[in-house]
Amino acid sequence: MNLPQETRYRAYSDWSKEEIAKINENVNQSPWHASYHIEPRTGLLNDPNGFSFFNGKYNLFYQNWPFGAAHGLKEWIHTESDDLVHFYVTGAELRPDTEHDSHGAYSGSAYEVDGKLFLFYTGNVRDKKWIRDTLQIGAWMDKDHNITKCENILIHKPADVTEHFRDPQIFNYKGQLYTIVGAQNLEKSGFIKVYKATDNNVETWEEVGNLDFGSTGSEYMIECPNLLFVDEKPVIIYCPQGLDKSELNYDNIYPNTFKICQSFDTENIKLVGASEIQNLDYGFEAYATQGFNTPDGRTLIVSWIGLPDIDYPTDKYNYQGAMSLVKELSIKDGKLYQYPVEAITSLRASSEQFTAKAETNNTYELELTFPPNQKSELLLFSDSKGNGLSLIVDTKEGKIILDRSKAGIQYATDFGTIRECSIDTKETTANIFVDNSIIEIFINKGEKVFTSRVFPEKHQNGIQIKSGEPTGKYFELKYQNGSKIN
């Protein structure tokens, strides 16, 4: 939503109780709230931040401008979880309240050091002429969720980057702490800067170079880079804005991509044996994915179900955006798989054989098998007039097609209403998670993923089988205590 700059950058303390109450009331009017996905309490949710394990719990913050569905003066909102499925807002917030983050506490990551969680983030600063500076800064969160900011700037903007320099991701590689930061160079190409913590002190960083990962630089900026390790193989996940479409086919305004690599050469700051660039997700919206390697050796990611610079049907209710399910990464036969964590099955409240249904409560999981040599089509969020979200699983031609053109309220149609990807022509499975206005589809247990919003009209809550003979289960899903996560 387009709001004037002075509204978006109004100090938090200037918003009156009455104004905030009105925003809350409006958010509550929406018919599209998710039941088991994280949504903002109010305003706009974008990137996952500070995803980490600390104090015996999983910690996940989200970027938020709390006063409306627009990108304004951002803060981080803290949530925590025992099982990576049920998340609770703790009340801790990283506010934009110092001269180093005066125009936003932008995205970043977190890492436990000596019983405290270190938050490493970008301070967005503008001067009176609205000229931007970006600083990489830090804060500490203790076990009681008290947040204390570091006084010093931890990484100043280097001479070879423009004002676009943000989203530090901290990670440990063989006992050394590194951080990578998304950047734009003076020729306006995207790249990634690499730093290491001097003596592993997270408050002192030295530049070690620009990451060599075989990129062409056709993008104008790389946002939210993450270097993760899956079975010791480096996987780099990033958002190359403006990437040339001859390099990778994508339809969303900005893609979220990855490369699987063979090793990390820390001498030459090189990801050796980097694969081709690939789409992380084939749906209409998944962006700013953030991950970390857990102390028990798993690799977890979570994505923003939303995109920059897009208006959503929820905007009129003063909120926008949601967080994806937490997905665990694995590599099989050289392919990256992403699948919700095991505990997701704890949401299954009841189970029945899969059949068409005139009505559901639009909060369910389908676990389906599609036979080989067959074109199957399902219509989800369907009504009696034949409207709905069409999902074609074609094991004859080897294709998945998701068509949103007849599914509820239309938006972002400039970027097309169909998304597709290829699959092998053999028996195929799909786990489909529906949550009122969210759908996450995992083909072959995460070999291909489609993450999307759908904003159904009233009574668009059926499941129709238009063709083919998929078999499987329907599970009704229920979040613990039935309430939404906020």
Helix (H, G, I), strand (E, B) or coil at 445: coil
Q: Residues 39, 47, 281, 285: which binds ligand FRU (CB under 6 A)?
A: 47
State the pairing for strand pair 322-323/87-94.
Answer: unpaired
Tell which positions 299-318 bind ligand FRU, by CB under 6 A.
Answer: 308
Q: Which residue has the tokens 């880079």?
A: 225
> Which member of 47, 281, 394, 403 is catalytic?
47
Q: Residues 288, 326, 402, 438: which binds ligand FRU (CB under 6 A)?
A: 288
Instruction: Determine if 79 is a binding residue for ligand FRU (CB under 6 A).
Output: no
Local structure of residue 200 (DSSP, 8 states): G
For CA atoms 393, 395, 397, 400, give the dihedral sign: positive
Instruction: Determine if 167 is a binding residue for ligand FRU (CB under 6 A).
Output: yes
Between 96 and 388, whose beta carbon lies closer to ligand FRU? 96
The separation between the first and the last C-alpha atoms of the chain, rounded to the nearest angstrom, is 22
Bridge partners for 442 per DSSP: 431, 449
**Cβ 238 to ligand FRU, closest distance in Å?**
11
Using only C-alpha atoms, what is the Rg of the chain?
A: 22
The reply to whether 265 belongs to the active site is: no
**Cβ 49 to ligand FRU, closest distance in Å?**
8
CA separation for the pair 67, 22 (Å, rounded) = 10
Q: Residues 35, 59, 63, 257: which binds ligand FRU (CB under 6 A)?
A: 63
Instruction: Determine if 281 is a binding residue for ligand FRU (CB under 6 A).
Output: no
Instruction: Determine if 226 is a binding residue for ligand FRU (CB under 6 A).
Output: no
**CB–CB of 15/27 below 8 Å?**
no
**CB–CB of 320/485 below 8 Å?**
no
**Cβ 50 to ligand FRU, closest distance in Å?**
12
Bridge partners for 90 per DSSP: none
**Cβ 400 to ligand FRU, closest distance in Å?**
26
Instruction: Determine if 107 is a binding residue for ligand FRU (CB under 6 A).
Output: yes
Between 238 and 479, whose beta carbon lies closer to ligand FRU? 238
Amino acid, single-letter form, for residue 153 = I
**Cβ 172 to ligand FRU, closest distance in Å?**
22
Instruction: Determine if 100 is a binding residue for ligand FRU (CB under 6 A).
Output: no
Strands (E), 405-459: 418-422, 428-435, 438-443, 448-453
The site map against ligand FRU for 348-387 (x = CB under 6 A) is ----------------------------------------
CA separation for the pair 456, 343 (Å, rounded) = 28
Q: Residues 8, 74, 327, 453: which binds ligand FRU (CB under 6 A)?
A: 74
Between 70 and 177, whose beta carbon lies closer to ligand FRU? 70
CA separation for the pair 133, 164 (Å, rounded) = 9
**Cβ 323 to ligand FRU, closest distance in Å?**
13
Q: Residues 224, 230, 380, 443: which binds ligand FRU (CB under 6 A)?
A: 224
Q: Residues 35, 42, 46, 189: which binds ligand FRU (CB under 6 A)?
A: 46
**CB–CB of 211/269 below 8 Å?**
yes
For residue 313, how far is the Cα from the chain centroid?
19
Binding-residue total with ligand FRU (CB under 6 A): 13
Instruction: Determine if 252 is a binding residue for ligand FRU (CB under 6 A).
Output: no
Strands (E), 294-374: 299-305, 319-320, 322-323, 327-332, 335-340, 348-353, 363-370
Q: Residue 11: what are its φ and ψ, rounded to 5°?
A: -60, 145
Q: Which residues are catalytic?
A: 47
Q: Residues interacting with ligand FRU, by CB under 6 A? A: 46-47, 63, 74, 106-107, 122, 166-167, 223-224, 288, 308
